[in-house]
Structure 1
Amino acid sequence: MQERYSRQMLFEPIGEEGQRRIMNSAVLIVGMGALGTVLANHMVRAGVGRVRIVDRDFVEMSNLQRQLLYDEEDAKNVYPKVVAAEIKLRKINSSIAIEAIVSDVTGANIEALMEGMDLVLDGTDNFRTRFLLNDACFRSGIPFIYGGAVGSRGMSAVFVPGVTPCLRCFIQSADTAGETCDMIGVIAPVVDIAASYEAVEALKLLAGDNSSRKNSLVTFDLWQNRYYEMKFGEPDRNCPCCQLQLYPALQGHEEDMLTMCGRDSVQFAGNGPLDLSLWQGRLDGALLKVKANPYLLRAEMPGGERLVLFADGRVLVQGTDDFSRARTLYDRYVGT
């Protein structure tokens, strides 16, 4: 410990005691895209004892501009992001526990994913998942650190159950259309800064320095040289999460289908695990061009769309965001 984390321990607010706390901590990072890869890099290098990473997606060439744990070989092999990230992270710090889970994060599994965690870090790219994390954290009493990046703008905040308002006090609905990286792009330095805001707040909490926690929602625009800080006030009295304790994202049934905003893709939840070797034979038999690895297989269809089958049962139909077209292709090749 003395050598590896010496510079971090020389920083007085952490010191030896803070470093011990960090090493005995566990964090969940949901999403291993641009934000998530920066977060994981910082948590692993800081010596967080247990880092659990969860993501549903795989590495593509368009990720390499900003998702710093991946390379061209990962994209060529169509590795799931958490698998490629785990390989890199273990080379960075072999002394900690890294858990990589290829999965969508849903109301059905979020509590199991959070079990044993000290805080949850937001590496996602959509408010549907952020509200799920927010509600689950406030129901379980676990701090949630929010972050986002799009274009040249970034934002971050720390939400602590029983102490601060929650995300819903600032943003009431996940249904409103918003700009995403896939729509207007993003520059990598914004991602680094937004995730670093998250990471430093995580280290404050893990080291036990709650008095230094930022009590505001920070937004900035690097290109336009703007910075804005919204101080936390009292929670919204009608907030369905932190005040009324209804936790709407945790209620009801999971959607069978969802569009992946800006990705020209529709995801199907599926009905359970898939035997990928069996499905490779079936899709080969349907005269589709199939590429497979132990975690997923990708098949090109005659119309130009692609099927991506995951071992956990999820199926992506890529090349369309039309539900009807996606359902037709899903039913034709995979079934109900």
Structure 2
Amino acid sequence: MAERYSRQILFPGIGREGQEKIRSKHVLLVGAGALGSGNGEILTRAGIGRLTIIDRDYVEESNLQRQQLYTEADVEQKLPKAAAAEKRLRAINSDVEIEAIIGDATPEVLEGLANGIDLIIDATDNFETRMAINDVSQKYRIPWIYGACVGSHGMSFTILPGTTPCLNCLLRRIPLQGLTCDTGGIIAPAVQMAISHQSAEALKILVEDWEAIRSTFVSFDLWRNEYTAMKMSKAKFPGCLSCGEHPTYPYLDKENMTKTTVLCGRDTVQIRPSAKGEISLEKLASQLGSLGYEVKGNPYLLSVELGGERMVIFKDGRALIHGTKDLTHAKSVYQRIMG
């Protein structure tokens, strides 16, 4: 097994001791899309001890342009990204303990996963989830690495509780909320650059080389040949409700979480039921089929179509309504199909 990681062990920043530390660590990867699949593969090949992946979406054809773990077969089967990623990563390194969670990274779920986590990597596509990650990071003193990309542009920042400003602090200085892939599209090299920044920082944290961790907020545009590294030490805000002198962790409050979300990059609304529970996909498929709906499915989800409307339903009752960004219309479709 030493031969497997020999080139990594030869690198002075890691060495044999660092490799043993990597092997002992547990990383939580929030999102299994473009950034998630790349970071997940690098960590798996590097020999991380345990990797937990949480993602709410399934593989679509448009993902294949930049999401490196997935294949056309995953698209045909409409596999959830977390499940497809787990399968692929296990084939890459069977020694890594991998757990796939198919669902939403809500504050409750994130807090439930916090125990024993050494690092959180942000690979999500919305700031609601990122702010929840940020508050979990601060509350449980877990380092996390922010990352985002759109078009040919990307950015990354490493957040160490008690040392660096948190994401809530940065929102006072940088208009991060303007990022979206809806209007600008995205090219794969921008994804790979953001992944490189995140995964390099991840390795530094995992081997506990705290002095090597980048203290700047990195922003780049590969098409325009621009690269910026901004010092953020003065951005730390004493009155921050997430990391300040009297934190209240506001983004872990259920009242601050919406039940509907427009997904990044496509005309799709996610609807999340307020009550917990699990539905019988087999029973639902039979009921909807008898009503004339076209129903396809696998053990993880159902795809339901009728009259141009398409909805994908997961076991926990969560649904993706395709072909709209109208929250009211999406709720109407959901209620019509789910009753």
Matched, 1:284 2:285: no
Matched, 1:265 2:268: yes
1:247 is matched by which residue type in structure 2? Y
CA distance in 1, matches of 2:172, 2:83: 34
Q: Secondary structure at the match of 1:214?
A: coil
CA deviation profile, 1:79-112 (whole Å, cap 9, x unmatched): 0001111111011000110001101011121111
CA distance in 2, matches of 1:214, 1:177: 22
Quote the offset at 1:285 in angstroms: 1.4
CA deviation profile, 1:126-168 (whole Å, cap 9, x unmatched): 1111111011111110001011110000101100001111011
CA 1:15–1:228: 2 relative to 1, 3 Å? same
The 5 A counterparts of 1:83-98 are: 83-98=83-98
* CA contact 2:185–2:265 (8 Å) conserved in 1: no
- Equivalence for 2:280: 275
2:12 is matched by which residue type in structure 1? E
- Equivalence for 1:184: 184
* CA contact 1:298–1:306 (8 Å) conserved in 2: yes
CA distance in 2, matches of 1:93, 1:261: 31
CA distance in 1, matches of 2:173, 2:241: 11
The 5 A counterparts of 1:120-135 are: 120-135=120-135
2:8 is matched by which residue type in structure 1? Q
Matched, 1:333 2:337: yes
* CA contact 2:310–2:323 (8 Å) conserved in 1: yes
- Equivalence for 1:194: 194
Quote the offset at 1:261 in angstroms: 3.9
Number of paired residues? 334
Percent identical: 47
- Segments of structure 1 that go 5 or more residues without pairing to the other structure are none
Matched, 1:153 2:156: no
CA distance in 2, matches of 1:87, 1:105: 20
CA distance in 2, matches of 1:266, 1:136: 26
CA deviation profile, 1:23-44 (whole Å, cap 9, x unmatched): 0000000000000000000000
Q: Secondary structure at the match of 1:9?
A: helix
CA distance in 2, matches of 1:27, 1:307: 32
The 5 A counterparts of 1:225-240 are: 225-234=225-234, 235-240=236-241
- Equivalence for 2:321: 317
2:30 is matched by which residue type in structure 1? V
Matched, 1:301 2:306: yes
Tell me the C-alpha RMSD between the 2 structures.
Answer: 1.6
Q: Secondary structure at the match of 2:329?
A: helix
CA distance in 2, matches of 1:173, 1:56: 30
Matched, 1:249 2:254: no
CA distance in 1, matches of 2:34, 2:10: 30
CA distance in 2, matches of 1:116, 1:300: 42
- Higher mean displacement: 252-261 or 268-277: 252-261
4+ aligned runs moved over 3 Å, structure 1: 172-177
CA distance in 2, matches of 1:266, 1:174: 27
- Higher mean displacement: 320-329 or 250-259: 250-259
* CA contact 2:181–2:264 (8 Å) conserved in 1: no
- Segments of structure 2 that go 5 or more residues without pairing to the other structure are none
Matched, 1:223 2:251: no
* CA contact 1:154–1:219 (8 Å) conserved in 2: yes
Q: Secondary structure at the match of 2:82?
A: helix
* CA contact 2:301–2:312 (8 Å) conserved in 1: yes
